[in-house]
Homo-oligomer: A and B are copies of this chain.
Amino acid sequence: MDRYQSFANSGFGRFVVGRLGLPRPHPLRRHVPGQPPLDGPVLLGGGGRLVEPVRAALGSMGAEVAAEVGTDAGRPAALVFDASGIDSVERLRELHEFFHPVIRSLGPSGRVVVLGAPPASTGSTGSRIAQRALEGFTRSVGKELKRGGTAQLVLVAPGAEDAVESTLRFLLSGRSAYVSGQVIRVGPARVGAPEDWERPLAGKVALVTGAARGIGAAIAEVLGRDGAHVVCLDVPAQGEELSKVANRVGGSSLQLDVTAADAPARLVEHLDLRHGGVDVVVHNAGITRDKTLGRMDAARWDAVVAVNLASQVRVNEALLAADALRPDGRVIGVSSIAGIAGNVGQTNYATTKAGVIGMVDALSAEVAGRATVNAVAPGFIETKMTAAVPLVIREAGRRMNSLSQGGLPVDVAEAIAWFAHPASSGVNGNVVRVCGQSLLGA
């Protein structure tokens, strides 16, 4: 908890904060290995093609499924509604009928998941409009929830009904603590449940660039926790910190400047010789060189493009050309709220982070069926970098979201682990914000 958050949740702090109408950031429930994903029953409603597959998935994850509130089961920890069958705007009323009586009984860090169909996949104009309308509903619910609650919309393609479990496990658990207001698309999966949901990446090799610090180190830790051998990559200048991270996660380290002309070839050679290829590639390395455009010299532009985008494009090309990305591989980018909404002083950075979204769009289509390509887009994450931001701007960034607090590096890492999961082969072409439903947007 940051200092304001501690204060706001203390006895006196609650009083002051309440009287002044200030935000009261609720401590978020986060994933603890071995603990159940939810601390209460799931209320399941709606009547589309997804109800039964979702019920089965909830059973598989050990969640208790209730039909109504007020039984002995106690406060619901999650409200899950299958809206995929809603085929007219009049029938949107079913959302109100399900949520209105129960939304206020949702427990702390509660979860709302609305399930729908990709609008263009539906048969009629009425369905298409109604399915698109779910987005406005879900995002509003996300903004209304208190005490750490989140709301998401999951659009499940026809034929992908059995592919939702990894996504539900992520969204319902504390792994998605800082994810809210997102629209996630799930298509048919090629691979079902892993042998062990606690170590789904056992036997896999994951590459994480920029792994020496901050978000990159957290990604390495979470992928290591999930069973992967993590190849931690960073520039030679970060060598010492990099080794520490690699040792901590039981992985290996690779000192390499990804912008060097021969870096893609050397990287592919390393992965091929040492590991026989790679399963998960996380392009996390990124830098900022902020200046408004009129004062930004060419060096600042070039450096940011080289690290944040050009090197990633070249590494992808080399991996695919050498067939070093193993079957059912994962390529995961790190975009940013700035890449979606733009930002003052960051024409260079925002260009590259929007380019990462372009990489997801282009490559996910190219490799569909044999790999997935997705990205996270972090909002305000508590790191050394954000700790250096001036107080007022930092506080604005931290509070201007539905959860009134910054996220942690682990929150970004958990979203990446969900993409990396073997059961997530139906999750392709998504850009998911890890931003607490930041107010900032395009």
The smallest beta-carbon distance between A135 and chain B, in angstroms, is 5
Nearest residue (CB) in B for A342 is B139
Chain B residues in 8 Å Cβ range of A133: 309, 351-352, 354-355, 358
Chain multiplicity (copies): 2
Q: Is the CB of A129 within 8 A of B95?
A: no
From the candidates B136, B302, B353, B359, name the one contacting A355 in the complex (CB within 8 A).
Answer: B136
Chain B residues in 8 Å Cβ range of A430: none
Q: Which of A10-18, A168-176, A288-296, A419-427 lies at the interface with chain B?
A: A288-296
Q: Is the CB of B358 within 8 A of A128?
A: yes
Q: Is the CB of B96 within 8 A of A301?
A: yes
Chain B residues in 8 Å Cβ range of A93: 298, 301-302, 305
Q: Is the CB of B361 within 8 A of A132?
A: yes
Nearest residue (CB) in B for A336 is B136
Interface residues of A (CB under 8 A from B): 89-90, 92-93, 95-97, 99-100, 103-104, 119-120, 125-126, 128-144, 181, 292-294, 296, 298, 301-302, 305, 309-310, 313, 317, 338-355, 357-359, 361-363, 366, 439-442
Chain B residues in 8 Å Cβ range of A92: 305, 351, 355
Contact A141/B358 with A96-B296, A309-B133 known, Cβ cut-off 8 Å: no
The smallest beta-carbon distance between A180 and chain B, in angstroms, is 10
Q: Is the CB of A144 within 8 A of B361?
A: no
Question: In the complex, what distance in Å separates the CA atom of A70 from the CA atom of B78?
Answer: 63
Known: A92-B305, A92-B355, A140-B344. 6 other contacts (CB 8 A): A93-B301, A103-B293, A104-B294, A137-B350, A139-B350, A143-B344
Chain B residues in 8 Å Cβ range of A96: 293, 296, 298, 301, 347-348
Q: Is the CB of B132 within 8 A of A345?
A: no
Chain B residues in 8 Å Cβ range of A309: 89, 129, 133
Chain B residues in 8 Å Cβ range of A143: 342-344
Chain B residues in 8 Å Cβ range of A100: 293-294, 296, 298, 301
The smallest beta-carbon distance between A39 and chain B, in angstroms, is 21
Q: Is the CB of A132 within 8 A of B355?
A: yes
The smallest beta-carbon distance between A258 and chain B, in angstroms, is 14
Q: Is the CB of B350 within 8 A of A140?
A: yes
Chain B residues in 8 Å Cβ range of A357: 132, 135
The smallest beta-carbon distance between A123 and chain B, in angstroms, is 11
Question: In the complex, what distance in Å separates the CA atom of A310 from the CA atom of B96?
Answer: 16
Chain B residues in 8 Å Cβ range of A296: 96, 100
The smallest beta-carbon distance between A24 and chain B, in angstroms, is 15
Chain B residues in 8 Å Cβ range of A103: 293-294
Chain B residues in 8 Å Cβ range of A99: 293
Question: In the complex, what distance in Å separates the CA atom of A296 from the CA atom of B100?
Answer: 7
The smallest beta-carbon distance between A303 and chain B, in angstroms, is 12
Question: In the complex, what distance in Å separates the CA atom of A223 from the CA atom of B310?
Answer: 47
Question: In the complex, what distance in Å separates the CA atom of A351 from the CA atom of B347?
Answer: 33
Question: In the complex, what distance in Å separates the CA atom of A26 from the CA atom of B199?
Answer: 57
Q: Is the CB of B294 within 8 A of A130?
A: no
Question: In the complex, what distance in Å separates the CA atom of A75 from the CA atom of B99?
Answer: 57
Question: In the complex, what distance in Å separates the CA atom of A117 from the CA atom of B342?
Answer: 19
